[in-house]
A and B are shown apart, each in its own frame.
Chain A
Amino acid sequence: MSAVVVERVKAQFGSKVVETTSFRGDESIVVEPAAYYQVAKFLRDDPACDMSMFIDITAVDYPSRDARFELVLNLYSLHKAHRVRLKTRLFEAEQGEVADATRPTTVPTVSTLWAGANWFEREVWDMFGLKFEGHPDLRRLLLYEEFEGHPLRKDYSADKTQPLMPYRSGPDVLGKQRPFLGDEGMPFGRKDWAPRDASWSDDSLGDPEDAPPPDGTAPV
């Protein structure tokens, strides 16, 4: 059903479409960032596509990729009852770096097309640090203004916290152990993710069982 949409986009934008995938009627279109807004507008306005409903916008961090972030826009047609997923790949914005047209780091906001995208784009900014050009109010949505960094980036350490309220220091606090120790509860380990390291694999983290206990005593 949604295959029609993919064909329409391909016919309209041709080389701007990087790739398309289809899995059991689940259609995805990857486009170049420069064409992202036009494709989104086309999907909404074209009568055959008629993507009248904005579902979600989110992002994925692939630290090993050169274009690190993948922006994912989910759309739905209320009248034709079909869905499509529009993706685009963005680079990390380095501080102080001159804007490079071959390494796009931002896309235009789609909140002008679907008003519901407003807060979702704020959430993407909050969690991943991706900016949207022309967004009416690009502030953090869930976290507080004092928060530094973007926690859903893979290079944000899993155990890093930034308390808004200073912790108390009484005997009932200092004598307590943390709810989790070491690598407990975290299958990927509490280590900093090494970005863009092709040699990374699950095996290279090692088994926490093999490590000696932190206090040096052997188990009984």
Chain B
Amino acid sequence: MGEVRNTSGREAVRVEVTGSEVGFATTKFDALLGWARKWSLFQYPFVTACCGMEFMSLNGPRFDGLARFGAEAPRFSPRQADLLWVVGTISQKQAPALKRIYEQMCDPKYVVAFGTCASSGGFYDNYATTPGIDKIIPVDVYIPGCPPRPEAVIDALNLLQDKIARGDRTPGVVKPREDIVERQLVTLRKSATDLDYGPQRRSGEPPITLGRTSDPKEGER
């Protein structure tokens, strides 16, 4: 027997076995239930697009990404499943079908948005496509990528398992996005102004600036 760790920050629990057959375990019921749930996910793959190829690769022998984590058996009836994988683009026309599938699943149920299209609509920013399945059903974990690497999916599954273990049922929230290039430019501009460009400084010109600057005085110390 191994250790059952409660990741919610509450008191950790431990399962101990002494001797060969005799033993006792102390735990909280919620922790035990969460531990049991997270290792016995029954998945319903709602595969609509090219991400499905990557979903197959995930389940292939190289990664074996779901069976290793207790989600081996797919159930092609939502009534028998508790984990809904939405793999691929969901069109506006498909949205009612997805909603109905979700409503047929029994509690507790979890949803993973596999890939950019399921998460946000991706580059299908048009009349036909639902801009993210969270407009229709709550999503627990989003996986970015077009398609995502199997490692990313395994990471997402681990995140979901953590979430299940601590009994967290709140929908996932994507952080407000940040322009990485813009942030790097700000950093570079700052370091550029910190450097001493001798001839330029002697002639009174501002040093080299990168990207846009709103304030012409920004280059001066």
Contact = CB atoms under 8 A, between A and B. Distances in A.
A211 interface: no
A167 interface: yes
A156 B121 contact: no
B177 interface: yes
Contacts of A175: 173, 176
A165 B121 CA distance: 15
Contacts of A220: 182, 186, 214
A162 B92 contact: yes
Nearest to B190: A220
Contacts of A185: 123, 125
Interface of B: 92-93, 95-96, 99, 120-123, 125-128, 130-132, 134-139, 170-174, 176-177, 182, 186, 212, 214-215
Interface class of chain A by DSSP: loop
A185 B121 CA distance: 13
Interface string A114-143: 000000000000000000000000000011
Interface string A180-191: 100001100000
B214 A179 contact: no
Given A172-B173, A176-B173, A218-B214, 11 more contacts: A142-B128, A143-B93, A163-B95, A165-B92, A168-B135, A172-B170, A172-B171, A172-B172, A176-B174, A179-B122, A219-B214
Interface in A137-151: 142-144, 151
Contacts, number: 82
A106 B144 CA distance: 46
A156 to B, nearest CB: 7
A212 to B, nearest CB: 10
Interface class of chain B by DSSP: loop
Nearest to B171: A172
Interface in A189-220: 218-220
Contacts of A176: 132, 134, 173-174, 176
Contacts of B131: 161, 178-179
A96 interface: no
14 contacts: A151-B127, A165-B136, A167-B135, A168-B136, A172-B138, A172-B173, A173-B135, A176-B132, A176-B176, A180-B125, A219-B182, A219-B212, A220-B182, A220-B214
B125 A168 contact: no
Contacts of B139: 172
Nearest to B186: A220
A170 B138 contact: yes
B120 A179 contact: yes
B212 A179 contact: no
A91 to B, nearest CB: 24
A164 B127 CA distance: 11
